[in-house]
Structure 1
Amino acid sequence: MAVCFGVHRLISLAKISFPASVACMILLFVFLILCEVTLGDKTTKKLISLIDVPCGFGLRYINLFFCPAFVTLPLSPDISGAEVGKIIAVFGGSSNATCFATSLTFVVIGYAALFSFTAYFVRGLQLVLGTSKRAITERAEEMGREDDNMPLTERTNQPSNDTPATYQADTPSVSPPADTPTALQPPTRTQDPSRVTGTGGPPLASTEQILDIAASRLRHDSPTLSRSQEWATWLTTNLDLVTYWLLFLFVGLPIYYTVGYAMPAQIAINIICFLIAVRLPTRYKTYLHPVLVSSAFTIVGIWIFALIHRKTLNDGLTQYTTGSRYTQLWELTPDLPPPGPGDIFGSVLDVSIVALGLPMFQYRQELKSRFVTIIIPNISLSVGSLLAYPALCHAIGISGPRSLAFASRSLTLALATPATQNLGGDLYTVAPLCIFSGIVGVVVGPWALKTLKVPEDDYITRGVTLGANSSAVATALLLTSDPRAAAFSSLSMGLFGTITVALTSVPPFVSFVRGLVGLP
């Protein structure tokens, strides 16, 4: 965070609108590459082990830090708690329901079209450049190495009756020297007890018995735990959850009811809801994303505490995010209110964004060899989004500032905000659009890639497509399911946002885009 603050100050002095977290992510990636070249691999690994302490924490809980963007959605002036989509409604002579349905349908169709275009474009580039087969070969070698690390599965295979014959045929017979009459020799066929048929041979165990014996050797039956041991095991497993419940009951509530400061209670509620949400069964988490579930229950909890104090939901959410992030606090901005949970999570989210440089460095060779496959789609998508989305939105009746906000729909919120500001778009519109794109990528993205016949081992297409269309939320998903694809997603997310922010910083280009929606 200290490094991010320094970069933030440098960027502000240069009067450039660019998020310091994304800049630090790129700087971390370049810094580690330079360290490897100058200091060597051993020293670089030691340095990474130190950096991984804060960065690893940020990557593990990156989904938690996305919650403020969802929790504060009802604070938008054009949005209500029941109708999140009103912020993207078309203004015309039709009814509100028709406007909402039309605009939401437009967003879904636009996302599907851009998602499909990205996937097929990247696949086509791989076929033209010949990188697809190399990627599949590398993934096969990687899977092969993973199989080699599992010797127990090979040792449990039962020999067949043809094994001695095969061994006899494949192994050349070597005569022992004359002076070593006692040298060991493989037994002949007649010396193999299993081949002696005159007496029926020795009794052979059945396959089931052999499997039972092998399983009993591998299985270690744990003794029955006492009640105290069971409680100790449960407490160890649920230590985080118990800790935050205690903080909520004995720290958050007393401070909230005595001083009126809601941050300790609200942050405990948010973390408890998130820890419970991540424990949902996998089949439910496919559609009930932990960020959505925890954010929804956090809003309910904040609303209940606001009612107890005879306040509204907006009053509680205003305490949740006061705007006092670490950059404002360290700049000693006067008259700042105390920070809320959203400010704390938003500050630590910068660490998570910077930490995405670690998987990029881990797969730097793949990124280097496939850089053309990454850069061409991102340039095309950036230019296409800036030219097509505003014009199409304006054509169906969306106002000019809201139409400009659609150009930044696929960016992470940290990059979408300066891009929309440069265009003069509506910031209250771009926030739910970015959130919607990220959640759709997590919930529907894997299914969409499967429907588009993208192989599961094509980590290049998966990473670039999800990173360019669903930004950091989809990258967080790939960190657990496919780290190599997450590296491509991180770089794609950063490149897409950087190109878009750079283009929106060129005055002639901005004037042209604004002219598409009828603005000067």
Structure 2
Amino acid sequence: MPSNIYLRKLNREADQISGATRRFFGQQVPDYVKTLPSIKKDAIRWGCNILYFGIGLMYNWAVSAVLQQMPNMHRFPSNVAGMIVLFFLLMCSHTACPKFTDKLVLFIDPYSSFALRSMNIMFVPAVVEIVNNPPTTGDEVGRMICVFLVAYVIGFVLCTFIVRGLRLVLFTPFSIKHKKKDLDVDVGDLAAPMELSSYTEKTKMHRNRTLDEEDVEIGMPGSAYLNRVSSVVTFDTPIRPLSDDDAASCASTLNHSPSSASLRADHMGSSSNAVVGDGIAECCSGNSNAFYEPINSTRPKKHGPLHSFALWCMQQSTFDDLTLFIIFSLCAFIFLPLPEDNPAMPFFRLFLYFTMTLLLYSASRRLPARLRIIIHPIILTSACTMAGIAYFERVKGFDIKHGVNLYKTGITFISLVEKTNVGWPGGGDILGAAMDVSIISLAFNVYKSRPGSLREWLIIVLSIAPMAFLIMFVTPLFARGIGCTPADSLVWASRSVTTAIGIVIGKVLGADESVVTCIIVFTGIMGPLFGPYLLKLARVRDDDHVTIGISMGCCSHGVGTAYLISKNPIASGTASIAFAIFGTLGVIVASIPVLSDTIRHLSGF
């Protein structure tokens, strides 16, 4: 008798599980698939992005071929040279045909912005390679931390003083002349009606505000201000809208931070079939995905962890995530039982590690914003990628170093085209090739954020020059002076540039790329954490956008610029120019044999 009761209980639980499974796969999954964006639109979007990267790689190869034919220029990075040449061509085109150039840049902007927004994930392979480095002693780590803190604080405060000093020298005489002219105009116009004066002043203020808004929009491309107008369409079945932005680029996967809880709350406060008005629709933005779930669902209230995880993935994921996850699952399913000597093994290992890196970075971007400042997505993705490589290689009977060497083989697009290093590239090599296109895309960002007067250009360039000398020459000397090894002293020469250009400088100087990447990432994180306090310490006003932008751009590169996009959008445009010019100047200095040998000599080599 007890056995029959137990069997009936098991059958009842089995029926509940099977019923929930049927409802999940028969109702919720089909409804979810119907809400996915058009595959045709996503295929076109993916194809356009791939075409843009393909054209960028061919352009980079052409520039590299030209540099190889020029004397004493073979060490100069082709991606940075391509960025300089492209910016020069854009400026020449703007001089001849300004409207055509602006329309061309506007047409290319979605793809160049995608390359810039995706740049962070391209730094992961360099950090993963740190497993091949020899272990570092505790004393050496302490010295590195000392150099890091002292150099950052002194460099940041000194940069604010340099910028304000140059502004005082270059702008004060002109401001005095303008004040005198304005005073003469005011005295001559005393007979004018007060209403006309008030109207003129309001018009001038409105125009200045419009120009300021335009300056904000031409800053560093990012998702902070790229909100799209969306609308909600009435459906027969009540739904829970999570997002609605079919025009978002593939970077919606990389820069997506959903807030499904707030969206559910907004839905519960409205009727199920209501059409949202235009005023509310302008505030809505998302990532081209929505999760449909009937409100009158008969599913049980409690579910197992696997079911809850599946629902969470459906809510948080995008079309790009699903596509990458399908590719990753397929490659893992074939990779695990496949023999190591099989000719297809490099192909599946390539896409397995490549899609794994993209998915891990997409997940790390979903962390809360405050947590992402401390636990940077690059560091978290790199650590998880190391763990994933170690697992898959252990299953195949190898260690993590074997997998990392296959993850980053050193095969580049140029070596494949010129047939100097032919073979199967790794997932890290694909990301490294994409980094070249991202560096070239900085030319469009600098063009959109360029200053409007010669004096502003002089302030930026004359502020960056002494900072570049301080960081590239004095910092390695200071590190060597307190006892750091020559190899650890040399990495400080590329500390305050963006990671993409810092890897290039480290490669030219012969520094360890993985250590360079870690230092650059932590340098960028210092900007959002301690930058506001250092600005207050230096007594920089909140409306001094030029000083804030140049200081954050020079000392915290792209991470500091991304921070300013939400906190001080006007300063973010100046910051994007500052770190781009700073990195270009650093590459030029490192590419000159006399100067690069001097830096190595100061480091102890």
**What is the TM-score normalised by the length of structure 1?**
0.71
Counterpart Cα distance in 2 of 1:459 and 1:256: 54
Which residue of structure 2 aligns with residue 251 of structure 1? 331
Q: Please, which of 48, 52, 61 is the counterpart of residue 5 of structure 1?
A: 61
Instruction: Judge conservation of contact 2:127–2:514 (CA < 8 Å) in 1.
Output: no
Counterpart Cα distance in 2 of 1:517 and 1:40: 47
Letter in 2 for 1:316: G
Instruction: Judge conservation of contact 2:561–2:572 (CA < 8 Å) in 1.
Output: yes
Q: Deviations over 1:8-63 (max 9, x none)?
A: 2212322422222222222222222222221231x223322342243122023222
Instruction: Judge conservation of contact 1:363–1:484 (CA < 8 Å) in 2.
Output: no
Letter in 2 for 1:20: S
TM-aligned CA deviation for residue 227 of structure 1: 3.0
Q: Deviations over 1:388-425 (max 9, x none)?
A: 22322222222334433322322345544565566565
Instruction: Judge conservation of contact 2:496–2:556 (CA < 8 Å) in 1.
Output: yes
Q: Deviations over 1:251-289 (max 9, x none)?
A: 343145424331211122111111111122223222222
TM-aligned CA deviation for residue 473 of structure 1: 4.5
Counterpart Cα distance in 2 of 1:139 and 1:410: 36
Secondary structure class of the residue paired with 2:119: coil
Letter in 2 for 1:268: T
In our comparison, the structure showing a higher alpha carbon Rg is: 1
In structure 2, the CA distance between the partners of 1:516 and 1:347, relative to structure 1 (3 Å rule), is closer
Letter in 2 for 1:244: L
In structure 2, the CA distance between the partners of 1:412 and 1:243, relative to structure 1 (3 Å rule), is same
TM-aligned CA deviation for residue 319 of structure 1: 1.8
Which residue of structure 1 aligns with residue 476 of structure 2? 390
Instruction: Judge conservation of contact 2:336–2:396 (CA < 8 Å) in 1.
Output: no
Matched, 1:371 2:457: yes
In structure 2, the CA distance between the partners of 1:228 and 1:60, relative to structure 1 (3 Å rule), is farther
Instruction: Judge conservation of contact 1:252–1:268 (CA < 8 Å) in 2.
Output: no
Counterpart Cα distance in 1 of 2:453 and 2:156: 21
Which residue of structure 1 aligns with residue 362 of structure 2? 275
When structure 1 is superposed on structure 2, of 116-125 and 342-351 the one drifting more is 116-125
Q: Please, which of 121, 136, 158 is the counterpart of residue 162 of structure 2?
A: 121
- For 1:35-434, list aligned pairs within 5 A: 35-41=93-99, 43-76=100-133, 78-79=134-135, 86=136, 96-130=137-171, 141-142=209-210, 221-223=271-273, 227=293, 238-255=318-335, 257-258=337-338, 259-261=344-346, 262-334=349-421, 336-366=422-452, 368-413=454-499, 415-416=501-502, 419=505, 429-434=515-520
Which residue of structure 2 aligns with residue 33 of structure 1? 91
Counterpart Cα distance in 2 of 1:139 and 1:303: 58
Secondary structure class of the residue paired with 2:424: coil
In structure 2, the CA distance between the partners of 1:436 and 1:502, relative to structure 1 (3 Å rule), is same
In structure 2, the CA distance between the partners of 1:21 and 1:461, relative to structure 1 (3 Å rule), is farther
TM-aligned CA deviation for residue 368 of structure 1: 4.4
Letter in 2 for 1:342: G
Counterpart Cα distance in 1 of 2:533 and 2:128: 27
Letter in 2 for 1:62: M
In structure 2, the CA distance between the partners of 1:305 and 1:424, relative to structure 1 (3 Å rule), is closer
Counterpart Cα distance in 2 of 1:356 and 1:138: 31
In structure 2, the CA distance between the partners of 1:428 and 1:52, relative to structure 1 (3 Å rule), is closer
Counterpart Cα distance in 2 of 1:480 and 1:339: 38
Instruction: Judge conservation of contact 1:478–1:486 (CA < 8 Å) in 2.
Output: yes
Counterpart Cα distance in 1 of 2:602 and 2:293: 71
Instruction: Judge conservation of contact 2:129–2:514 (CA < 8 Å) in 1.
Output: no
Identity %: 27
Counterpart Cα distance in 1 of 2:129 and 2:387: 12
In structure 2, the CA distance between the partners of 1:68 and 1:515, relative to structure 1 (3 Å rule), is closer
TM-aligned CA deviation for residue 427 of structure 1: 5.7
**Runs of 5+ unmatched residues, structure 1:** 80-85, 87-95, 147-218
Counterpart Cα distance in 1 of 2:463 and 2:323: 46
Instruction: Judge conservation of contact 1:322–1:343 (CA < 8 Å) in 2.
Output: yes
Counterpart Cα distance in 2 of 1:479 and 1:20: 29
Which residue of structure 1 aligns with residue 42 of structure 2? none
TM-aligned CA deviation for residue 7 of structure 1: 0.8
TM-aligned CA deviation for residue 374 of structure 1: 0.9
Counterpart Cα distance in 2 of 1:355 and 1:138: 33
Secondary structure class of the residue paired with 2:389: helix
Secondary structure class of the residue paired with 1:118: helix
Counterpart Cα distance in 2 of 1:144 and 1:465: 20
TM-aligned CA deviation for residue 352 of structure 1: 1.6
TM-aligned CA deviation for residue 344 of structure 1: 1.0
Instruction: Judge conservation of contact 1:411–1:468 (CA < 8 Å) in 2.
Output: yes
Instruction: Judge conservation of contact 1:71–1:299 (CA < 8 Å) in 2.
Output: yes
Counterpart Cα distance in 2 of 1:399 and 1:271: 35
Root-mean-square deviation (Å): 3.7
Secondary structure class of the residue paired with 2:410: coil
**Runs of 5+ unmatched residues, structure 2:** 1-56, 179-204, 215-268, 275-290, 298-310, 339-343
When structure 1 is superposed on structure 2, of 428-437 and 2-11 the one drifting more is 428-437
Which residue of structure 2 aligns with residue 18 of structure 1? 76
Instruction: Judge conservation of contact 2:408–2:428 (CA < 8 Å) in 1.
Output: yes
Instruction: Judge conservation of contact 1:4–1:21 (CA < 8 Å) in 2.
Output: yes
Secondary structure class of the residue paired with 1:356: helix
In structure 2, the CA distance between the partners of 1:446 and 1:74, relative to structure 1 (3 Å rule), is farther
